[in-house]
Amino acid sequence: MDKMSGEKQELSYRAEVRRADVDSVGRLVEATGFFSVEEIGIARELVEERMVRGAQSGYFFLFAEAGRRLAGYACFGPIPGTMQSFDLYWIAVYPSFQQKGIGRMLLQAAEREMMKNGAGRVYVDTSSRPQYEPTRRFYTACGYRKEAVLADFYAPGDGKIIYLKILV
Amino acid sequence: MDKMSGEKQELSYRAEVRRADVDSVGRLVEATGFFSVEEIGIARELVEERMVRGAQSGYFFLFAEAGRRLAGYACFGPIPGTMQSFDLYWIAVYPSFQQKGIGRMLLQAAEREMMKNGAGRVYVDTSSRPQYEPTRRFYTACGYRKEAVLADFYAPGDGKIIYLKILV
């Protein structure tokens, strides 16, 4: 058995959200070096809102754990007013766990979790900036296709690209 | 002076949100006959959230009043994570006040209010269903252009059309 599949087998998923996840998610998102202070705050707030309001919050989570260590997480939820569209709000993997296929496995597990909750379509927004090229390649490799582009949405020269994966 | 301009002069705008607006907005949105029970609930909730959290809620309002009667309202706010993009969440005019140009004046007043709060771009989502053809014509007449289409977003056969107006 090679190293990769060994690591894959160690990975477990948890949908239940605990109080400690607020800080864990903040640390994880910060550790990626990919998000602004404002964005890190938002990532934490979504966990807090889930703790306070439960499923009513509209935020669902999936934590990928290697033993007792958090390797990555995804946050998603149904888009209000739609029949079966979900948004993938966040997906992040610790730098030390990257390049092992964990992001892809986590996203697939998140898609299964969304389908259990009625999802037929998953939308995810990314930036058009060069910095996000690996992110865009990741979604494409995971079966997402570019559905729309909103030029200059985030800021001048920084557009929003909306990716879509049809699950059912 | 004709009837039309007489009515225009009577219209006043109020950005301040009061407790009574929760019910007023619910009645207004319901009276249009255009929104589902779920949507009416959401319209009310946004006013409530504004009452509880103030500007922190991210929801701004503009009420068009003819004397002491509510003629229409708009709800809008900055899109988190963007530099100058705003969403127009709601705009509705009482049936008895429609066909008088009030919607257009209200939207222009809302755009001025958004610009005061830093908006450079206004996005508004509508449905691709035939029922929304007057809505789409309204946005086009007000200077909005179709920026993107997400097929089957709301439901099979019911896509989301994203309109955009660049303010600055």
In chain B, which ranges are continuous DSSP H helix?
3-10, 21-31, 37-53, 102-116, 133-141
The interface predicted TM-score of the complex, written ipTM, equals 0.88
When pLDDT is cut at 50, 70 and 90, the band that residue B10 belongs to is confident
Q: What pLDDT is attached to residue B46?
A: 97
A3-119 belongs to which CATH class? Answer: alpha beta
CA distance B16 to chain A (A): 27
Set of chain A residues whose Cβ sits within 8 Å of the Cβ of B123: 150, 153
Q: What pLDDT is attached to residue A10?
A: 79
Instruction: Give me the long-range contacts of A131-140 (CB less than 8 A, separation at least 24).
Output: A136/A161, A136/A163, A138/A103, A138/A104, A139/A163
Question: Among B166, B58, B62, which residue's Cα sits nearest to residue B119?
Answer: B166
Q: What pLDDT is attached to residue A70?
A: 96
Q: Which residues contact B40 (CB under 8 A, 6 or more apart)?
A: B26, B29, B30
Set of chain A residues whose Cβ sits within 8 Å of the Cβ of B155: 82-84
Q: Taking 80 as the threshold, does the pLDDT of residue A164 lie above it?
A: yes
pLDDT tens sequence across A124-145: 999 999 999 999 999 999 999 9
Pairing of strands B60-66, B69-78: antiparallel
Classify residue A22 by its DSSP letter. Answer: H
B117-136 b/e (C-beta count within 10 Å ≥ 16 → b): eebbbbbbbbbbeeebeebb
CA distance A137 to chain B (A): 21
| Closest by Cβ to A83, choosing from B79, B149, B155 | B155
CB-based contact (8 Å) between B167 and chain A?
A: no
Q: Hey, what CATH topology would domain B3-102 get?
A: Aminopeptidase (3.40.630)
**Residue ranges covered by each domain of chain B:** 3-102, 120-168
**pLDDT > 70 in chain B, percent:** 95
**pLDDT > 90 in chain B, percent:** 88
CB contact under 8 A, B155 and A39: no
* Radius of gyration (C-alpha) of chain A in whole angstroms: 16
User: Model pTM?
Assistant: 0.89
Question: Among B16, B82, B72, B78, which residue's Cα sits nearest to residue B47?
Answer: B16
pLDDT tens sequence across B20-29: 999 999 999 9
Q: What pLDDT is attached to residue B154?
A: 97
For range A113-124, the mean pLDDT: 97
Lowest mean pLDDT among A1-10, B39-48, B90-99, B143-152: A1-10
Classify residue A110 by its DSSP letter. Answer: H
Q: Taking 70 as the threshold, does the pLDDT of residue A4 lie above it?
A: no
CB contact under 8 A, A81 and B154: yes
Q: Tell me which residues of chain A, numbers 125 to 154, contact chain B at a CB-CB cutoff of 8 Å.
A: 147-150, 152-154
Q: Are B167 and B78 in contact (CB under 8 A)?
A: no
**pLDDT > 90 in chain A, percent:** 88
Residues in chain B: 168
CA distance B150 to chain A (A): 7
CB contact under 8 A, A150 and B152: no
CB contact under 8 A, B42 and A81: yes
Determine which helix (DSSP H) or strand (DSSP E) holds A141, and give its type and residue range.
helix A133-141
CB contact under 8 A, B154 and A42: no
B111 φ/ψ sector (left φ>0, alpha ψ -120 to 50, else beta): alpha
Largest CA distance in chain A: 50
CB contact under 8 A, B162 and A150: yes
Mean pLDDT (chain B) is 93
Amino acid at A95: P
Q: Residue B35 has which token pair?
A: 């929104």
pLDDT tens sequence across A23-81: 999 999 999 998 899 899 999 999 999 999 999 999 999 999 999 899 999 999 999 88
CB-based contact (8 Å) between B16 and chain A?
A: no
